[in-house]
């Protein structure tokens, strides 16, 4: 079993400014009770996007000019706070297929990898310039190349980095360990039957 290999993500971008944006801001805790992730795409930053009466507030995710964006550009320590996997699920299901930022919380990065959502970092000054560029021209195409470890936006190219193991898993298509285990269940059962300390493995 192999997941899709993820090498290049290309599309328009959406900037969300601010350091230390935690997972509760990305998806408030009240949505964790949902049985599946099916509707998570409706919830990113919902409390920052709408008031108590459901009236829209100023936020990049509400702006028509960023509609359809597939690359999210953020600042430092994005995804900090609780370890809820709903945060990357919400972003991915809203159409975000890569996140570029100054730095990320470690658990958030791991949860993103588990669903094939690349999280890459770039120098602070480069992120600021990229945000400015996208805000000035929301139609500009941004291409994240994991193989070459570079990001292209218009005529600009900047270096990007990500954990070596995460990059290798995405490039090889080995990022969803649960799916790989499920697809190899006959082999797992065969090994389990030979282990004296495993009884009744189904």
* pLDDT, average across residues 139-150: 97
Domain locations along the chain: 8-173
What are 143's two structure tokens? Answer: 């291409």
- Name the class of domain 8-173: alpha beta
Q: Output the pLDDT for position 179.
A: 58
Residue 47 CB burial class (10 angstroms; 0-12, 13-18, ≥19): middle
Summarised one tens digit per residue, pLDDT across range 98-114 is 999 999 999 999 999 99
Rounded Cα distance between 56 and 42, Å, is 14
Mean residue pLDDT of the chain comes to: 91
């Amino acid at each position: 079993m192999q997941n899709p290999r993820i090498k290049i993500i290309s599309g328009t971008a959406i900037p969300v400014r601010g350091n230390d944006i935690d997972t509760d801001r990305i998806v408030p805790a009240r949505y964790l009770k949902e049985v599946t992730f099916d509707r998570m795409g409706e919830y990113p930053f919902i409390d920052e996007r709408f008031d108590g009466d459901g009236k829209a507030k100023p936020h990049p995710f509400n702006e028509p000019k960023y509609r359809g964006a597939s690359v999210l550009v953020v600042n430092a320590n994005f995804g900090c706070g609780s370890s809820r996997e709903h945060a990357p699920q919400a972003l991915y299901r809203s159409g975000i297929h890569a996140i570029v930022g100054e730095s990320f919380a470690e658990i958030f990065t791991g949860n993103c990898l588990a669903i094939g959502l690349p999280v890459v970092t770039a120098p602070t000054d480069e992120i600021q310039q990229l945000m400015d560029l996208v805000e000035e021209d929301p139609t500009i195409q941004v291409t994240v190349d994991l193989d070459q470890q570079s990001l292209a936006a218009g005529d600009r190219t900047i270096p990007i980095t990500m954990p070596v193991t995460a990059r290798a898993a995405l490039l090889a298509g080995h990022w969803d360990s649960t799916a790989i285990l499920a697809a190899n269940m006959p082999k797992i059962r065969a090994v389990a039957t030979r282990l004296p300390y495993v009884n009744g493995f189904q």
